């Protein structure tokens, strides 16, 4: 029965880790992460759950003759924000799985 106590301890640690990760995921929902493009001419704000919360476009960048540039800036700012959201998520959740080699986790 030596292994039984070790298994129980490991299960308790896993449950504790799951609880902490769930708490971090809830906090991520409230996190606001900004991505920018064009030297700050376009800003996209996303949550830690990668929901777009706001798009801010400075008036100077709006040119009816060059809509494609504006589209590219919005796309670049969105991708920047989503990449930063991924980084924040990996950082926050990864600290709870450090040292564990669990398949399918991070």
* pLDDT at 105 > cutoff 80: no
Dist CA 43 CA 76 (whole Å): 9
Number of H helices, E strands in the chain: 2, 3
Please enumerate in sequence order all residues whose Cβ is within 8 A of that of 41, keeping only pairs 6 or more positions apart, or say none: 57, 58, 60, 61, 73
* pLDDT at 100 > cutoff 80: no
Share of the chain above pLDDT 90, in %: 53
* pLDDT at 58 > cutoff 90: yes
Statement: 31-98 belongs to CATH 3.60.20.40: no
Pairing type for strands 52-57 and 42-47 reads antiparallel
- The answer to whether 63 touches 98, Cβ cutoff 8 Å, is no
Instruction: Looking at mean pLDDT, say which of 7-11, 19-23, 30-34 comes out highest.
Output: 30-34
Q: What is the pTM of this model?
A: 0.72
């Amino acid at each position: 029965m030596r292994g039984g106590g070790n298994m129980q301890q490991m299960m308790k640690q896993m449950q504790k880790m799951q609880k902490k990760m769930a708490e971090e995921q809830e906090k991520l929902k409230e996190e606001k992460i900004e991505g920018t493009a064009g030297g700050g001419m376009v800003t996209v704000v996303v949550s830690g759950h990668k929901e777009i919360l706001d798009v801010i476009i400075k008036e100077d960048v709006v040119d009816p003759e060059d809509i494609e540039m504006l589209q590219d800036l919005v796309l670049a700012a969105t991708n920047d924000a989503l990449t930063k959201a991924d980084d924040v998520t990996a950082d926050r959740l990864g600290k709870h799985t450090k040292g564990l080699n669990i398949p399918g986790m991070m």
